[in-house]
Structure 1
Amino acid sequence: MRYIIIGAGAVGGSVGGRLAEAGHDVVLVARGAHLRTLRERGLTLTTPDGTRTHRLPVVSEPAELGELRPDDVLVLAVKTQDSEAALSAWSTRPVEGGTTAAESLPLVCAQNGVDSERMALRRFARVYGMCVWLPVTHVEPGTVAAAGAPYTGILHIGRYPTGTDATAHRIAADLESAKLLSPVVEDVMRWKYGKLLANLANAVEALTGPVVDEDALAVNRMARAEGEAVLAAAGIGAVGEKEHLEVRAGRLVLQPLDGGTGPRGGSSWQSLSRGTGTIEVDYLNGELALLGRLHGVPTPVNDALQRLANTFAQERRAAGSLPVAELVAHVERVTGTDPRPVT
Structure 2
Amino acid sequence: MKICIFGAGAIGGYMGAKLAEAGADVSLVARGPHLAAMQARGLTLIEEGETRTYPVNASDDPAALGHQDYVIVTLKAHSVPPVVDRMQPLIGPDTTIVSGVNGVPWWYFHKIGGPLEGTRLASVDPGDAQWNGFGPDRVLGCVVYPAAEVIEPGVVKHIEGNRFSLGEPDGSKSERATRLSEALSKAGLKAPVRPKIRDEIWVKLWGNLSFNPISALTHATLDVLCTDPGTRDVARNMMLEAQQIAEKLGVKFPIDVDRRIQGGADVGAHRTSMLQDLDAGRPMEIDALVGSVRELGRV
Same fold (TM over 0.5): yes
Partner of residue 44, structure 1: 44
The answer (yes or no) to whether the contact 1:154–1:180 under 8 Å persists in 2 is: yes
Deviation digits for residues 152-207 of structure 1, max 9, x if unmatched? 41111012243221111111111111121111112212211221112121111222
Partner of residue 280, structure 1: 285
How far off is 1:263 after superposition?
6.8
Partner of residue 217, structure 1: 232
Rounded to whole Å, the distance in 2 between the matches of 1:58 and 1:115 is 26
Letter in 2 for 1:10: A
Change (3 A) 1:5 1:287: same
How far off is 1:121 after superposition?
4.3
The answer (yes or no) to whether the contact 2:42–2:56 under 8 Å persists in 1 is: yes
How far off is 1:32 after superposition?
1.8
How far off is 1:87 after superposition?
2.6
SS of corresponding position for 1:181: coil
SS of corresponding position for 2:298: helix
Change (3 A) 1:49 1:26: farther
Change (3 A) 1:13 1:228: same
Rounded to whole Å, the distance in 2 between the matches of 1:175 and 1:267 is 23
Partner of residue 264, structure 1: 270
Query: What TM-score results when the alignment is normalised by the length of structure 1?
Result: 0.71
Give percent identity, aligned residues only. 30
Check if 1:170 corresponds to 2:179: yes
How far off is 1:128 after superposition?
0.2
Rounded to whole Å, the distance in 2 between the matches of 1:241 and 1:275 is 35
Gaps of 5+ in 2: 109-124
Deviation digits for residues 189-226 of structure 1, max 9, x if unmatched? 22112211121211112221121321111111121111
Check if 1:68 corresponds to 2:78: no
SS of corresponding position for 1:40: helix
Rounded to whole Å, the distance in 1 between the matches of 2:49 and 2:21 is 12
Equivalent positions of 1:321-340 (< 5 A) are: none
Rounded to whole Å, the distance in 1 between the matches of 2:77 and 2:155 is 21
The answer (yes or no) to whether the contact 1:77–1:109 under 8 Å persists in 2 is: yes
Partner of residue 215, structure 2: 205
Rounded to whole Å, the distance in 1 between the matches of 2:5 and 2:202 is 23
SS of corresponding position for 1:75: strand
Equivalent of 1:115 in 98, 105, 130:
105
Equivalent of 1:84 in 81, 105, 108:
81
Rounded to whole Å, the distance in 2 between the matches of 1:215 and 1:113 is 24
The answer (yes or no) to whether the contact 1:146–1:263 under 8 Å persists in 2 is: no
The answer (yes or no) to whether the contact 2:99–2:105 under 8 Å persists in 1 is: no
Rounded to whole Å, the distance in 2 between the matches of 1:207 and 1:293 is 26
Letter in 2 for 1:178: A
Partner of residue 255, structure 2: 241
Gaps of 5+ in 1: 95-100, 255-261, 295-343
Partner of residue 142, structure 2: 130
How far off is 1:102 after superposition?
5.7
Check if 1:187 corresponds to 2:196: yes
Deviation digits for residues 241-271 of structure 1, max 9, x if unmatched? 369x79xx9xxx96xxxxxxx9731211221
Length, aligned pairs only: 267
Rounded to whole Å, the distance in 1 between the matches of 2:243 and 2:48 is 35
Deviation digits for residues 52-97 of structure 1, max 9, x if unmatched? 11220111131222x325xx31101101101112333223x27xxx
Rounded to whole Å, the distance in 1 between the matches of 2:269 and 2:44 is 15
Rounded to whole Å, the distance in 2 between the matches of 1:164 and 1:121 is 22
Moved more, 133-142 or 106-115: 133-142
SS of corresponding position for 2:251: coil
Change (3 A) 1:164 1:87: farther
Partner of residue 120, structure 2: none
Change (3 A) 1:46 1:171: same
Query: What TM-score results when the alignment is normalised by the length of structure 2?
Result: 0.81
The alignment yields a C-alpha RMSD, in angstroms, of 2.5
Equivalent positions of 1:4-23 (< 5 A) are: 4-23=4-23
The answer (yes or no) to whether the contact 2:143–2:200 under 8 Å persists in 1 is: yes
SS of corresponding position for 1:153: coil
Letter in 1 for 2:8: A
